[in-house]
Structure 1
Amino acid sequence: MSEETFDYNDLNEEEWAKIRHQRLTPKEVAKRIAKILKPNRPDYHYLKKVFQHTRELLEITPEKARKRLPELLTDMELIAFYETVWKARNTNHLVMIKLLIYTGIRNAELTNVQIKDVDLTNCTVRIEQGKGKKDRYVLFPMSFRGELAQYFEKQKLNGAKFLFESNRLGAFSTRRIRQIIKEYSDQSGIEKRVYPHLFRHQIITYLTRKGIISPKLQLLSGHSEEKSLAIYRDLALADVAEEYESAMEKFPVK
């Protein structure tokens, strides 16, 4: 059945009446119509026309896609996860995961961090060509500086280009980082799904609850809206650093 042979009368009045008088969601209406028309083997364009007509006839407004909120870890779950990582005594993994948790950088951004991007004096990491093709700086707490400095110097002595490199002398892949986090999550017994981007949601939510306002969070996270860029350009990283440091003093992972 093609678009040219489309006929609204393919659905008889009895079928329309059933659909009209039942309290169905738009998705349920679409399923019902598709089932009725299935014997005619309709193609995509035909079904699209039928669904458009159905929305007009029944005065249905298409549902907007809903963003699914991530299921964050509780403080106890986050501590349990961290303790599992700490007990493994793998410095590479420990520093990597703490940097993810503290900064909220994306998985792909983490894999691209180079030795030259780390500023131990100012407790910042430069994220080069992140999402949106704009460089930015993220903060890490001063309490993490000593641990990161030891790892940093070790990597420099080994001639590493990237901050985190596998045994094959290349940057970790995003897939491998997801695997590492899943392995520790399974070992810790956490039932929730734990993945790199969850830590981004975790820290942004935490800092929001601590009162850091949206424009300052945008500076750290790399989120942007065109209409708000004028506000964000006027902010300096130094304006955020003090509030970030104060908020991180009570963060559950030390």
Structure 2
Amino acid sequence: MELKDSIRNKYKNYLLLERSLSANSIEAYMTDLDKLSGFLFSESISAENVKLDDLQQFVAQLYDLGIGARSVARIISGIKSFYGYLMLDGYIQTDPTELLETPKIGLKLPVVLSVDEINELMDIIDQSTKEGQRNRAILEVLYGCGLRISELVKIRFSDLAFDEGFIKVEGKGSKQRLVPVSPAAIREINSYLFYRREMTPKKGFEDILFLSNRATPISRITVFHYIKEYAEKAGIKKNISPHTFRHSFATHLLEGGANIRAIQMMLGHETITTTEIYTHMDREYLRQEIIEHHPRNKPR
């Protein structure tokens, strides 16, 4: 069975908007995905029903074709990324690549904004408009909470627990977690609510926090374009995306002295070997980590 074009196109957009990959990198990912698609077609297997054994057979065929270990590692990395996306968007419930072995290779360091660059980008936003106030709140939440853009666009009023200092987030595989929300983010959301309450959402979206000008949930690509626009106005030359704020969140907390395990839990990066540690960490401790160490919570 062939890989559905709709899934392929959505994955390509994911690589652009959330991974912020270059055109050449995206082309390489899609070429590797096409290799898998060809294998699935020959075996009459759908991408959603792939098992670990199928993937191991696919990798074996790569070696049989004489493809080198480094290239195989790159292809496997791309396949893992694809199935991570399928998990993120709810196409599958379990990741068949989790136990797929891959050669160890160096990782590309993500783009990170400095604290000054974050401040410059925030300050460039015109908060006298409803769009500007909404976008300021969006960027403050992305940076102040370390959320994925896919998590942010799904936030509902019912997910906000400001009295306790948390936002309920639905992450990869529909897993929910409580993320500490900074006072700065709370302040910007409350400012945005002045405009949000004046809007009449389209039916079915009444509980969605961040709405577009059409009164529907704001899209990932819209946020992506606003970030590019603000970065250009602020004179920031780095190739940034919504995910850059998540990387910056983690990096700045770590540089500020926050506990690495607390950061991983706030990001929702639970793994087989660390899940037990994370689930036993105290929620108030997590909240204090972000309050004490996040640069946006300090007087400017």
TM-score using structure 1 length: 0.70
Aligned to 1:140: 181
Residues 1:224 and 1:135: Cα distance change in structure 2 (over 3 Å): same
Contact 1:115 1:152 in 2 (8 A): no
Could you tell me which of 156, 166, 172 is aligned with 1:114?
156
Find the partner of 2:273 among 208, 212, 227.
Answer: 227
- Runs of 4+ residues deviating >3 angstroms: 44-47, 49-52, 62-65, 86-89, 156-160, 249-254
- 1:241 partner amino acid: R
Q: Does 1:151 align with 2:168?
A: no
Deviation at 1:166, TM superposition (A): 0.6
Alpha carbon RMSD of aligned pairs, Å? 2.7
Map residues 43-122 of structure 1 onto 2, 5 A cutoff. 48-49=65-66, 64-86=104-126, 89=129, 90-122=132-164
In the other structure, the counterpart of 1:3 is none
The runs of 5 or more residues in structure 2 that have no matched partner are: 1-60, 70-101, 201-205
Match of 1:184 among 218, 230, 233: 230
- Offset at residue 66 of structure 1 (A): 2.7
Q: CA deviation at 1:197?
A: 0.4
Partner SS, residue 281 of structure 2: coil
1:121–1:152 Cα change, 3 Å: farther
Q: Aligned equivalents of 2:167 and 2:63: distance in 1? A: 53
Cα distance in 2 for partners of 1:45, 1:218 equals 34
> What is the deviation of 1:144?
3.7
What CA distance in whole angstroms lies between the structure 2 residues aligned with 1:157 and 1:248?
A: 32
Q: Is the 8 A contact 2:210 2:217 kept in 1?
A: yes
The separation in 1 between residues aligned to 2:261 and 2:162, in whole angstroms, is 25
Alignment of 1:164-175 (within 5 A): 164-175=210-221
Q: Distance in 2 between matches of 1:247 and 1:46?
A: 47
**Cα distance in 2, alignment partners of residues 46 and 231 from structure 1:** 38
1:55 matched to which residue of 2? none
Deviation at 1:111, TM superposition (A): 0.7
Deviation at 1:70?
1.4
Asked whether the 8 Å contact 1:115–1:156 carries over to 2, the reply is: no
- TM norm structure 2: 0.60
In the other structure, the counterpart of 2:165 is 123
Stretch of structure 1 that moved more, 214-223 or 193-202: 214-223
Shift of 1:198: 0.6
Change (3 A) 1:96 1:140: same
Q: Which has the larger radius of gyration?
A: 1
Code of the residue aligned with 2:125 in structure 1: it is: V
